[in-house]
C-alpha cells in the first residue's frame, strides 16, 4: 500500500498557553499520531509545525482544541497548510526570546464559556451583564488607545473598578487577574436604548428586553457592539428585512445573520466539522455556509436573494449572547454604515448618520477606539479561506518565511490598494495586517504603494516622510501575497484575476499570468483586451463590458443585433453614443480584466445588465452553478501576442470563440446554469493550457476571482490531475484585502 503524501500544518496559538504544560501536551499528541515536526514558545505565542498525512493532521487540529490542558486557554488559533519539508522526528524546540520587543496586541476575543456561564446564572453578580469579560475573552484591539496594553491606555480608563472587581484584578489566582477591561454592573459600562431624538427610553435592566421586543415587532435597531454598529432586524420577518434594505439603499447585497445557537444554524445550513469549528472559534467570524437545499426556511428570502449560501455567525459578545438568547431566532445584521461609508463607532455620530434608517439605538458608554468589521471566512477544499481579515484576526501578524525576510529586515509600511482596504506593517518576520494605519511604535523605513496614481492610498503614501518609496503593480502584489502565505519561493507561475488594477502598460489589467523567478517577475500572458465604453461606468454595468467584447469581434455590425440581450439592454440613443465612443476610442479604456469578462458573460446571457454593487454579476454566475455537474467547456484559443518582441513569449487568451458559442447557446435556449458551468470550466481549462506551456509546476491562484469557490476548487482539481501543484489563499484574502502583504513582499524583494 502506498503511503499518502505528507503535508505540513503550521499553527500559531495565542492565549494562556504558556506555563500550563501546553508544549508537552502537543508533543504527546503529535507523537501519538506519528507526526513529525516541532513546537516552541515565543513571546508571540506557541508555534507548531506538524507533518504527516492530511487526515492525521486534521485529527491533530481537532484534538488540540478538544483535549488541551485544563488550565490552558486558546484566544486565537491560525492554521496554514503548507508543503512538507521532511522533518525526521517531533521535538520541543528551545523557546525563542527574540522578537520580544514587538508587543503583541491581541484581537478582540469572543466570549469564553466561563463568562457565558456567569451571565446566564441568576445567582452570579454578573448575571445578564452585557460587558462581562475576563483575561481569556473580551475587547482588546477595539479599545486600545496606546501601548503598553494597560487599563489606563484603553477606553475603559473612565470606569474605576469597584472593590470586588479590583480584588479580582489583583489576584493572580483569579480568572480576571490583570484583565484590563474587567467590569461589573456596579462599576462598568451600561446600556441605554435611545429613540432617534437621543432620548433614553430605557436604562439598565429593561434595556435589553425592550430592544429585543422592538426587533420582535419588526423594528430596525442599531446595536453598538464591539467594533462598531450593526443594524439588526428579525431575519424571519420579510417586511422588516425589506425595510432595512430600502432605508439603507443596499438592495441586493446579501446580509449576514447572527444565530442564537449552533443548533439554529444547523437547522438552516449545512455545517461541516471545520465550519463548525470556525463558527465556535474565539475569532467568531461570519462563515459562508450552504443553505440546506429544498427546505422551507424561516429565513426571509430577501436576506440573501437568489443566493444558495448564507453568511452566518454566532454571538461573540455578552451583549449579543443576551440579546439573541432573549429573541431565540436569528437576526439579519449589517454594519451600521451607509453604503461605502466607514462604519460608525460613536453613538452620537451613529445617531446622526443612521437617523432615518434605525428606529431605535441600543448604545453603551464604552467608547470604541477603532472600528473593527466582522471577519468573513469561507471553506474551500476543506481549508479555511479568510475573505475579510478583521475582528478576531486583526492585528495579529502573518509570519513570513525566513527566506523572504530577516529578523533585522527594514520595516515596510504597505498602504494596500484603496484606502478602505487593509494596510500592512512589517517588523522583522512579522507582517501586521489591519484596517488601520497602525499606531505601532515602529518607524517604517520603506513605504510601498500601488502604481495607480489616483488611489487615495497612493497619494497618502506620497505625502509620508519615509526615505524610500516603492510602487508595486497590483496583480503582482496579489501573486506575491499568495506565495508568501504559502511559504513558496520562486519560481512559480502566478494567475492573477480580479476586477481592476492599474497595468504597467497603462491599460486596465485583471486577467494576468506572471512568471515569478528570483530575479524578476514577467507578465507572460493575459486575457485578450477589450474596450470598456464609459470607463468606470462599466464596473456597475455588465452590458458595457459585453458591448466592448462584442465590438471587438463584430465591429459596427453589432449595433444592429437587437436580439442579443446586451444590445437590447440599451436605448437607440445610448447605442449611438456608445458607438461613437468605441469607434473613436473615446473614454473607452482597454482592459484584460477577468472580472469584467464575468460581467460581460452575465450580460450576454441576460442575467444582469446593470448591478447594485461591483461583483454582483460574477457572484450570480457562481450561484447559477448550484447543483449542476458537467465537464463541458467553451473554447478559448491561445495565441502569441502580435506585438510581442521575439524574445518575449507573451500569450493572449482569446475569448472570441467562447463568446460566439455563448451567443448560439443563448439562441438555442440553453439554461443559464449550463452556460455558466461551461464558462467556468473554460476558464479553468485555459489556466491548465497556459500552465502546460511553461515548465513551472507550481501554480499560484490569486485575485478576487478566486473567492469563487467553483472556480478555485475546479482549477485546483484540474491542475492536480495534470500533475501541477496549485496554491491558493488561506489566512490572507485573495481580494484586495491581501494586496498590502504582497506590497511588503515586493519591497523586500526589491532590496535584495
For Zn ion, the binding residues (CB under 5 A) are 112, 115, 134, 136-137, 162, 165, 184, 186-187, 498, 736
User: 664 Cβ partners below 8 Å, 6+ apart?
Assistant: none
User: d(Cα 603, Cα 590) in Å, to the nearest integer?
Assistant: 19
Rounded least distance, CB 748 to Zn ion, Å: 20
Rounded least distance, CB 149 to Zn ion, Å: 17
185 or 565, CB closer to Zn ion?
185
11 or 137, CB closer to Zn ion?
137
Rounded least distance, CB 569 to Zn ion, Å: 27
User: d(Cα 302, Cα 551) in Å, to the nearest integer?
Assistant: 37
User: 231 Cβ partners below 8 Å, 6+ apart?
Assistant: 220, 221, 222, 223, 244, 248, 333, 334, 335, 336, 354, 357, 358
387 or 564, CB closer to Zn ion?
387
Cell of 715: 482549477
- Can you state the angle between helices 205-216 and 318-327, rounded to 10 degrees? 50
User: d(Cα 710, Cα 115) in Å, to the nearest integer?
Assistant: 40
Q: From residue 224, how far is each of 76, 284, 355, 719 by CA, in Å?
A: 24, 17, 14, 46
90 or 497, CB closer to Zn ion?
497
- Specify the DSSP class assigned to residue 607: S
Strand partners, 50: 9, 37
Burial 247-268 (b: 16+ CB within 10 A, else e): bbebebbbbbbbbbeeebbbeb
182 or 566, CB closer to Zn ion?
182
115 or 255, CB closer to Zn ion?
115
Q: 690 — phi, psi (to 5°)?
A: -65, -40
C-alpha closest to that of 423 among 406, 444, 401? 444
User: d(Cα 81, Cα 729) in Å, to the nearest integer?
Assistant: 10
Rg (CA), the chain: 26
User: d(Cα 529, Cα 542) in Å, to the nearest integer?
Assistant: 16
14 or 291, CB closer to Zn ion?
14
C-alpha closest to that of 682 among 656, 664, 703? 656
354 or 597, CB closer to Zn ion?
597
Helices (H), 505-568: 542-554, 565-568
134 or 558, CB closer to Zn ion?
134
134 or 493, CB closer to Zn ion?
134
Cβ-based neighbour number of residue 238 at 10 Å: 15
User: d(Cα 712, Cα 719) in Å, to the nearest integer?
Assistant: 10
Cell of 646: 521575439
Cβ-based neighbour number of residue 74 at 10 Å: 21
- The angle formed by the CA atoms of residues 395, 400 and 402, to the nearest 5 degrees, is 145
Rounded least distance, CB 545 to Zn ion, Å: 17
Whether 290 contacts 352, CB under 8 Å: no
Cell of 475: 496583480
Q: Is 12 helix (H, G, I), strand (E, B) or coil?
A: strand
Rounded least distance, CB 475 to Zn ion, Å: 7
Rounded least distance, CB 718 to Zn ion, Å: 23
Cβ-based neighbour number of residue 295 at 10 Å: 9
304 or 745, CB closer to Zn ion?
745
Rounded least distance, CB 391 to Zn ion, Å: 17
Q: From residue 302, how far is each of 212, 251, 254, 299, 613 by CA, in Å?
A: 21, 9, 8, 8, 16
C-alpha closest to that of 449 among 459, 439, 440? 459
Rounded least distance, CB 367 to Zn ion, Å: 18
Strand partners, 16: 73
Cell of 367: 467608547
C-alpha closest to that of 138 among 188, 181, 174, 170? 181
User: d(Cα 415, Cα 425) in Å, to the nearest integer?
Assistant: 9
Rounded least distance, CB 751 to Zn ion, Å: 24
Rounded least distance, CB 195 to Zn ion, Å: 29
Q: Is the peptide bond prior to 459 cis by the omega test (within 30 degrees of 0)?
A: no
**Secondary structure element (H or E) that encloses residue 163, with its range:** helix 163-170
User: d(Cα 734, Cα 702) in Å, to the nearest integer?
Assistant: 5
Rounded least distance, CB 592 to Zn ion, Å: 13
37 or 733, CB closer to Zn ion?
733
Rounded least distance, CB 479 to Zn ion, Å: 11
Rounded least distance, CB 79 to Zn ion, Å: 23
- The angle formed by the CA atoms of residues 567, 573 and 579, to the nearest 5 degrees, is 60
358 or 705, CB closer to Zn ion?
705
Rounded least distance, CB 113 to Zn ion, Å: 8
Rounded least distance, CB 738 to Zn ion, Å: 8
Instruction: Give residue for cell 461551461.
Output: 678
227 or 416, CB closer to Zn ion?
416
521 or 581, CB closer to Zn ion?
521
282 or 565, CB closer to Zn ion?
282
Rounded least distance, CB 184 to Zn ion, Å: 3
Rounded least distance, CB 159 to Zn ion, Å: 8
338 or 419, CB closer to Zn ion?
419
The sign of the CA dihedral 223, 228, 234, 239 is: positive
Amino acid at each position: 500500500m502506498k503511503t499518502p503524501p505528507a503535508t505540513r500544518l503550521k499553527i500559531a496559538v495565542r492565549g494562556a498557553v504558556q506555563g500550563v504544560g501546553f508544549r508537552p501536551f502537543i508533543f504527546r499528541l503529535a507523537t501519538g499520531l506519528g507526526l513529525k515536526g516541532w513546537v516552541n514558545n515565543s513571546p508571540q505565542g506557541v508555534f507548531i509545525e506538524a507533518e504527516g498525512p492530511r487526515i492525521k493532521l486534521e485529527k491533530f487540529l481537532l484534538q488540540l482544541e478538544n483535549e488541551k490542558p485544563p488550565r490552558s486557554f486558546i484566544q486565537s488559533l491560525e492554521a496554514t497548510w503548507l508543503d512538507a519539508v521532511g522533518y525526521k522526528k517531533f521535538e520541543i524546540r528551545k523557546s525563542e526570546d527574540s522578537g520580544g520587543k514587538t508587543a503583541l496586541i491581541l484581537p478582540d476575543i469572543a466570549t469564553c464559556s466561563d463568562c457565558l456561564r456567569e451571565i446566564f446564572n441568576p445567582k452570579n453578580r454578573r448575571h445578564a451583564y452585557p460587558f462581562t469579560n475576563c483575561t481569556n475573552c473580551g475587547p482588546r484591539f477595539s479599545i486600545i488607545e496606546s501601548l503598553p496594553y494597560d487599563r489606563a491606555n484603553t477606553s475603559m480608563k473612565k470606569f474605576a473598578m469597584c472593590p470586588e472587581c479590583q480584588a479580582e484584578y489583583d489576584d493572580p489566582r483569579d480568572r480576571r487577574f490583570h484583565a484590563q477591561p474587567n467590569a461589573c454592573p456596579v462599576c462598568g459600562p451600561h446600556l441605554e436604548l435611545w429613540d432617534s431624538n437621543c432620548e433614553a427610553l430605557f436604562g439598565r435592566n429593561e434595556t435589553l428586553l425592550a430592544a429585543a421586543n422592538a426587533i420582535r415587532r419588526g423594528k430596525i435597531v442599531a446595536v453598538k457592539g464591539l467594533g462598531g454598529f450593526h443594524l439588526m432586524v428579525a431575519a424571519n420577518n420579510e417586511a422588516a428585512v425589506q425595510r432595512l434594505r430600502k432605508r439603507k439603499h443596499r438592495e441586493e447585497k446579501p446580509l449576514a445573520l447572527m444565530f442564537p445557537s449552533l443548533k439554529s444554524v444547523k437547522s438552516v445550513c449545512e455545517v461541516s466539522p471545520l465550519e463548525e469549528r470556525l463558527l465556535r472559534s474565539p475569532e467568531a467570524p461570519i462563515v459562508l455556509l450552504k443553505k440546506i437545499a429544498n427546505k422551507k426556511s424561516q429565513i426571509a428570502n430577501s436576506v440573501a436573494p437568489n443566493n444558495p449560501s448564507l453568511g452566518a455567525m454566532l454571538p461573540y459578545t455578552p451583549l449579543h449572547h443576551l440579546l439573541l438568547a432573549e429573541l431565540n431566532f436569528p437576526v439579519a445584521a449589517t454594519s451600521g454604515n451607509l453604503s461605502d461609508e466607514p462604519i460608525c463607532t460613536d453613538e452620537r455620530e451613529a445617531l446622526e448618520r443612521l437617523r432615518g434608517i434605525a428606529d431605535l439605538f441600543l448604545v453603551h458608554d464604552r467608547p470604541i477606539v477603532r472600528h473593527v468589521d466582522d471577519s468573513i471566512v469561507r471553506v474551500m477544499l476543506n481549508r479555511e479561506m479568510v475573505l475579510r481579515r478583521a475582528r478576531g484576526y486583526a492585528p495579529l501578524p502573518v509570519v513570513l518565511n525566513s527566506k523572504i525576510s530577516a529578523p533585522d529586515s527594514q520595516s515596510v509600511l504597505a498602504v494596500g490598494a484603496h484606502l478602505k482596504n487593509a494596510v500592512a506593517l512589517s517588523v522583522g518576520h512579522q507582517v501586521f495586517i489591519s484596517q488601520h494605519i497602525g499606531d505601532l511604535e515602529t518607524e517604517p523605513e520603506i513605504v510601498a504603494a500601488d502604481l495607480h496614481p489616483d488611489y487615495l492610498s497612493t497619494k497618502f503614501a506620497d505625502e509620508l516622510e519615509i526615505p524610500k518609496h516603492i510602487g508595486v503593480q497590483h496583480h503582482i502584489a496579489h501573486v506575491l501575497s499568495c506565495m508568501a502565505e504559502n511559504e513558496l519561493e520562486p519560481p512559480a507561475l502566478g494567475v492573477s484575476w480580479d476586477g481592476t488594477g492599474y497595468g504597467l502598460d497603462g491599460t486596465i489589467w485583471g486577467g494576468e499570468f506572471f512568471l515569478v523567478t528570483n530575479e524578476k517577475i514577467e507578465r507572460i500572458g493575459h486575457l485578450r483586451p477589450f474596450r470598456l465604453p464609459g470607463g468606470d461606468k462599466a464596473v456597475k454595468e455588465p452590458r458595457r463590458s459585453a458591448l466592448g467584447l462584442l465590438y471587438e469581434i463584430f465591429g459596427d455590425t453589432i449595433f444592429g443585433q437587437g436580439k442579443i440581450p446586451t444590445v437590447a439592454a440599451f436605448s437607440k440613443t445610448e447605442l449611438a453614443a456608445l458607438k461613437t465612443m468605441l469607434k473613436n476610442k473615446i473614454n473607452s479604456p482597454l482592459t484584460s480584466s477577468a472580472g469584467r469578462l464575468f460581467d460581460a458573460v452575465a450580460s450576454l446571457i441576460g442575467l444582469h445588465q446593470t448591478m447594485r454593487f461591483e461583483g454582483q454579476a460574477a457572484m450570480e454566475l457562481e450561484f447559477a452553478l448550484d447543483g449542476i455537474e458537467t465537464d463541458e467547456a467553451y473554447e478559448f484559443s491561445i495565441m502569441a501576442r502580435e506585438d510581442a518582441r521575439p524574445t518575449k513569449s507573451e500569450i493572449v487568451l482569446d475569448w472570441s470563440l467562447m463568446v460566439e458559442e455563448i451567443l448560439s447557446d443563448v439562441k438555442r435556449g440553453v439554461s443559464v446554469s449550463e452556460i455558466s458551468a461551461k464558462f467556468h470550466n473554460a476558464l479553468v481549462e485555459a489556466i491548465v493550457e497556459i500552465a502546460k506551456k511553461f515548465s513551472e509546476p507550481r501554480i499560484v491562484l490569486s485575485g478576487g476571482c478566486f473567492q469563487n469557490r467553483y472556480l478555485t476548487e475546479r482549477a485546483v482539481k484540474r491542475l492536480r490531475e495534470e500533475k501541477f501543484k496549485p496554491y491558493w489563499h488561506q489566512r490572507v484574502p485573495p481580494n484586495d484585502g491581501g494586496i498590502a502583504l504582497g506590497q511588503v513582499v515586493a519591497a523586500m524583494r526589491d532590496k535584495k
